[in-house]
Amino acid sequence: MTLTILTSINLFGQNKLPKNLTQAVKYLDKDCSESVKNEIKTIHEDSLIYSVYPFAKNEPYKNYKTIFNWTSDENGNPKITKYLENKGVLDYHSEVLLYTFRQYLKNGTINEKEILNKFSLKQKNAEEKDKIKFITDTINGIYIPKDLEDCFVQINSFWNDSTKIQVKNWEENEFAGKVHLGFGMWMRNNWRLWGGSRLSKYFNDLGIHHPDDMSGIILDSYHRHLNNKEIKLEEQIKYYQDYWENSKKAELKRKQEEFSEYNIGDTLEFNYNKGYVSKEQEDKDDDDICIAKGIIIARNEKDFLVKVKIIETCDKKGIIYFDNDGHRIYDPKTRRWSNPPKRIIKKVKKNKEQWFEYKDWETL
């Protein structure tokens, strides 16, 4: 499931998004609260992705969205994602940033070359495993259950009778709470609920996509199984689907509120989210002396677009409003993302009009 979130990074301004890992940790160190920093620093390395939005569920971590905003497939920061993809890391953008920031928080410094080598190797290994991971019964020497009933068989083989009696006597919520971060994490990691497996595909086919939701259903269902209660799988599925649907509605409402601040006649400052027409323009932007401006002349509330008349560009070539470099095309048959077959760059010059995503501009 992909949730599209657009949030202004007010601390730095949209035109100050990081271009590499060194800049990323510098920005995150200023942007991130102490509680979120501590979560990133102390959580198990394999579970870093669950330390912040969109996979964290607890306050304040579930509301920390900066890394997501930088790496979202549809609305991310093209500077950092393009940088990582050029280094051979196509699918682990959030993980790279979290791992890098964790290293910085623990050591006060980062080894960028070592980090990029680690994740480019992970990318290569993942691409090999992707060829069989959704059908194989074993990954990394661990048997992968094929469905919910098979999960019960495996859990029964892990736990002795005394443990099962203890689990049976706990309340359902008490059991789930006690094992979510222990055995639950083991399931998510080793049964590849996040990385992809035949078990994750089983849940995907049921309409469940979040690894925490998958493990939650497994644990609740197992507890009911031990107590000879009805599992009510459809009811559990609906609970999680409703949760994400309500989350999407809340995000849409927030996006609508943000868009309401963009009014016809407003003067805007360009954020250069799609890159620069020249090296000179980029250098001037880095020094805060290259400011492109425009005036809103129309609004599209359905698609959250603004039509802007350009009044300043800082370069006679204009500004880039579209660049498909770094965009990914998803093939549902192969379950893989690929680069566009042809690079397309579109520019607009001073005194011309063009439709933009509102996040490409900052209100003044």
320: which DSSP letter?
E
Q: Are 350 and 270 in contact (CB under 8 A)?
A: no
* Both structure tokens of 218: 């497994």
Q: Where are the domains of the chain?
A: 14-130, 138-244, 263-363
Rounded to whole angstroms, how far apart are CA atoms 340 and 301?
A: 28
pLDDT per residue as tens, the chain (364 positions): 222 222 333 333 344 678 899 999 999 999 999 999 999 999 888 889 888 887 787 778 888 888 988 887 555 566 888 888 888 888 889 999 999 999 999 999 999 999 999 999 988 887 777 778 888 999 878 999 999 999 999 999 999 999 999 999 999 999 999 998 889 989 998 999 987 899 999 999 999 999 999 999 999 999 999 999 999 999 999 999 999 999 999 999 999 999 999 999 999 999 998 889 998 898 888 888 888 999 999 999 999 999 999 999 989 999 999 988 767 676 666 555 666 778 889 999 999 999 999 999 999 8
**What is the radius of gyration, based on Cα positions, of the chain?**
23
What type of residue is 215?
Answer: S
- Predicted local confidence at residue 73, as pLDDT: 58
Task: Give the alpha-carbon dihedral of 55, 56, 60, 65, to 10 degrees.
Answer: -20
Residue that the structure tokens 């995503």 belong to:
357
The verdict on pTM exceeding 0.75 is no
- CB environment 15-34: b (16+ within 10 A), e (fewer): bbbbbbbebbbebbeeebee
**What number of residues does the chain have?**
364
| Nearest-angstrom CA–CA distance, 243 and 220 | 17
Residue 361, beta-bridge partner list: 270
Rounded distance, CA 47 to CA 188, Å?
A: 9
